[in-house]
């Protein structure tokens, strides 16, 4: 046996021990990172919340917060009366409601606000909330334009308040364990990460139904538009706003941002090097403006590429993210993952087929190969190890993390700098798509170069 063969065997045994330890962890104690977000809250000091924007996502955030001990939901604001009526149906004690979010910011009995409005409102509302002395939870994507990222960071740093960016993938039950596995080197060198989110329904393509009672009498059009370009009253823009560039960044900032956030978290990185995208409106050819399919390649200075794909014409299931390394593969879904130990294996049959038999026989002896021309003492693949989290729902975990940071004066799991960089990659995907060429991030100047 050669020295290299001994090292391979030792490495294999060590990896097998790590795999066994991972398997033992299933159903066992949660990691320290997960404990921050699970139901064992460290304090029940009252935190009084207001919600700005209680549409689809805002309502889910409000319900998640209502299940956290010590949280009091004081008020909700929205430009559609039906959303406010629903908030009062769902929450007990019944919160106050208003069509003007500034009324919530002026309330002395509100400590913090959650902002779940269309993207074009995020910066202004965050700045005003922080200036009013409120802690802030702002839904992903944090920014509507990449240029706004530094303004978010400056406002938070000046305020001293806790600001959480709302990408719940940061609080997935398996996130910390998967990140630790990658950091340990068990995958070897990871050079490719593949992420995908596919859907095949009209609502999945953002053609959300419009409430039968929606009209100029129940929808405040002016409040919806805000700083967006003027436009005639259009209920599709209010309830299907993700279809329009004025209020949304489409697939990259709504869906890719989940994959980007998780990749940054698990790979321990934040800033990209360059991005190239291709996409179009292939199927949903009506009034939508944003593509219904896009594929982007993101290059990182750490030495790997993230390939992102989303389509609204096929819903085939599969892992959200797949990490490909020289020693294995990780299929990651947030609340579960599967680790495949796949060491490099070699077979010389193909490459020596053109040699004389005697030469092949001599080569086999020198290289200690089997009759099939594979190493006799090389590392062997192992059965995949699957881990499933028993932690709480990731949305509630993410809101809980923010609430506990407010209570303790700690840091949130997703601060605005992290949120800026996650959204930045999404914006770069759109810029590349529109320009038809790669775009680069200049880390020194903090600017996108198109």
71 — pLDDT class (breaks 50, 70, 90): very high
- pTM to 2 decimal places: 0.89
Neighbour order of strands in the sheet with 336-341: 385-388, 336-341, 328-332, 321-325, 190-198, 304-311, 293-300, 274-280, 439-442, 447-449
| In the chain, where the domains are located | 47-170
45 — pLDDT class (breaks 50, 70, 90): confident
Residue 41 has pLDDT above 80, yes or no: no
User: Could you give the angle at the alpha carbon of 282 between the alpha carbons of 277 and 285, nearest 5°?
Assistant: 125
- What is the per-residue pLDDT across 256-275, written as a single tens digit (0 to 9) for each? 999 999 999 999 999 999 99
Beta partners for residue 194, in sequence order: 307, 322
Q: Could you list the beta-strand ranges (E) of 289-391.
A: 293-300, 304-311, 321-325, 328-332, 336-341, 385-388
13 — pLDDT class (breaks 50, 70, 90): very low
- What is the per-residue pLDDT across 344-398, written as a single tens digit (0 to 9) for each? 888 999 999 999 999 999 999 999 999 999 988 877 778 899 999 988 999 999 9
- What is the per-residue pLDDT across 188-200, written as a single tens digit (0 to 9) for each? 999 999 999 999 9
Residue 134 has pLDDT above 80, yes or no: yes
What's the pLDDT at 241? 98
Residue 21 has pLDDT above 90, yes or no: no
3-state DSSP: the chain helix, strand, coil percent, rounded to 5?
40, 20, 40
Burial (CB count within 10 angstroms: exposed 0-12, middle 13-18, buried 19+), residue 24: exposed
Cα–Cα distance for residue pair 52/63, rounded to 1 Å: 14
Give kind and range of the element (H or E) at residue 194.
strand 190-198
* Other CB atoms within 10 Å distance of the CB of residue 372: 9
- What is the per-residue pLDDT across 98-127, written as a single tens digit (0 to 9) for each? 999 999 999 999 999 999 999 999 999 999
What's the pLDDT at 381? 75
What's the pLDDT at 378? 74
> Mapped to the 3 state alphabet, what secondary structure does 343-355 carry?
CCCCCCHHHHCCC
- Output phi, psi for 266, to 5 deg: -75, -30
Residue 121 is given by DSSP the state G
Beta partners for residue 22, in sequence order: none
> Quick check: 123 and 144 in contact, CB under 8 A?
yes
What's the pLDDT at 123? 98
> Quick check: 325 and 187 in contact, CB under 8 A?
yes
pLDDT top residue among 299 and 19: 299
Nearest to 118 by CA among 54, 204, 168: 54
What's the pLDDT at 376? 86
3-state secondary structure of 339: strand
- Give CATH for domain 47-170: 3.40.50.720
Cα–Cα distance for residue pair 294/312, rounded to 1 Å: 10
What's the pLDDT at 447? 97
What are the residues whose beta carbons fall under 8 Å from the beta carbon of 36, sequence distance 6 or more? Answer: 401, 404, 413
Residue 6 has pLDDT above 60, yes or no: no
């Amino acid at each position: 046996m050669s020295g290299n063969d001994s090292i391979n065997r030792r490495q294999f045994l060590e990896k097998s021990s790590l795999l066994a330890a991972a398997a033992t962890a299933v159903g066992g104690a949660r990691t320290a990172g997960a404990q921050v977000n699970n139901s064992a809250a460290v304090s029940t000091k009252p935190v009084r919340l207001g919600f700005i924007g209680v549409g689809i996502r805002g309502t889910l955030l409000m319900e998640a917060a209502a299940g956290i001990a010590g949280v009091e939901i004081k008020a909700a604001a929205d430009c559609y009366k039906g959303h406010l009526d629903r908030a009062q149906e769902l929450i007990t004690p019944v919160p106050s409601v208003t069509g003007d979010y500034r009324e919530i910011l002026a309330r002395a009995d509100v400590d913090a606000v959650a902002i779940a409005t269309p993207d074009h409102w995020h910066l202004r509302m965050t700045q005003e909330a922080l200036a009013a002395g409120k802690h802030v939870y702002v839904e992903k994507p944090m920014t509507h334009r990449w240029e706004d990222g530094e303004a978010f960071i400056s406002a938070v740093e000046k305020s001293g308040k806790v600001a959480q960016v709302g990408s719940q993938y940061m609080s997935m039950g398996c996130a910390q364990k998967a990140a630790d596995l990658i950091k340990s080197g068990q995958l070897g060198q990871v050079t490719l990460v593949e992420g995908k989110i596919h859907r095949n329904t009209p609502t999945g393509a953002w053609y959300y139904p419009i409430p039968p009672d929606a009209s100029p009498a129940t929808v405040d059009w002016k409040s919806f538009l805000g700083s967006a370009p003027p436009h005639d009253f259009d209920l599709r823009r209010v309830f299907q706003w993700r279809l329009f560039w004025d209020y949304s960044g489409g697939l990259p900032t709504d869906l890719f941002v989940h994959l980007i956030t998780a990749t940054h978290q698990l790979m321990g990185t934040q800033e990209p090097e360059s991005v190239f995208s291709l996409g179009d409106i292939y199927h949903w050819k009506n009034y939508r403006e944003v593509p219904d399919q896009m594929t982007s390649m993101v290059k990182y200075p750490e030495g790997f590429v993230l390939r992102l794909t989303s389509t609204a014409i096929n819903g085939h299931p599969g892992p959200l993210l797949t990490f490909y390394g020289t020693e294995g593969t990780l299929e990651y879904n947030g609340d579960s993952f599967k680790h495949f130990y796949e060491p490099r294996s070699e077979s010389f049959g193909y490459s020596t087929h053109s040699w004389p038999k005697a030469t092949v026989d001599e080569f086999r002896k020198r290289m200690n190969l089997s009759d099939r021309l594979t190493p006799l003492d090389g590392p062997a693949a192992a059965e995949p190890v699957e881990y499933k989290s028993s932690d709480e729902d990731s949305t509630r975990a993410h809101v809980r993390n923010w609430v506990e940071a407010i209570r303790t004066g700690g840091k949130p799991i997703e601060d605005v700098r992290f949120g800026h960089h996650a959204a930045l990659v999404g914006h770069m995907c759109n810029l590349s798509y529109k320009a038809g060429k790669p775009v680069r991030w200049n880390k020194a100047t903090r600017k996108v170069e198109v």
